[in-house]
Structure 1
């Protein structure tokens, strides 16, 4: 998957999880400040991502990720390996 394809997938999943199809998501969008996602909701989102992308994402890898773009870049690397 390309970086843009991963971004599109993440955006769609985030809109679905937050029940807001008109949500504006960019690579600079932060999970906490912009989307109001707490740590529990983020864990739920990551579990869903793992299922969708057939990946294992360790909790410690997610701790420092703050934006959609950072998660996209992380997933791009993870999917290549």
Structure 2
């Protein structure tokens, strides 16, 4: 039986992943711009691969092209997990 992801689990994963990329936990808020957090395109590719592998969500690096904020990133992941 597979474990179903919920919004809280996805948010925790994204927070941990961003911290691993060097973002301060205090800066991880929904309206924070990824550019302001110094998350570049290579970081986004790494993040997309982690999301695909660890959360088993069907994401591709291209899905992240128009993502500018943490909130948008979370919405994308929630959408891919069927949690819209």
The CA RMSD measured in Å over matched residues stands at 2.0
Map of 1:62 onto structure 2: 64
Deviation at 1:57, TM superposition (A): 0.9
Deviation at 1:6, TM superposition (A): 2.0
**Residue 42 of structure 2 is aligned to residue 40 of structure 1:** yes
Deviation at 1:15, TM superposition (A): 0.4
Deviation at 1:21, TM superposition (A): 5.6
Give TM-score, length-normalised by structure 1.
Answer: 0.78
Runs of 5+ consecutive residues of structure 1 not aligned to the other structure: none
Structure 1, 66-75 or 1-10: larger mean CA deviation:
1-10
Structure 1 residues 60 and 22, CA gap change in structure 2 (3 angstroms)? closer
Runs of 5+ consecutive residues of structure 2 not aligned to the other structure: none
- RCO comparison, higher one (Cα < 8 Å, 6+): 1
Deviation at 1:56, TM superposition (A): 2.4
How many residues align? The count is 79
Give the Cα separation in 2 of the matches to 1:25 and 1:64: 19
**Residue 19 of structure 2 is aligned to residue 7 of structure 1:** no
Give the Cα separation in 2 of the matches to 1:35 and 1:72: 16
Give TM-score, length-normalised by structure 2.
Answer: 0.76
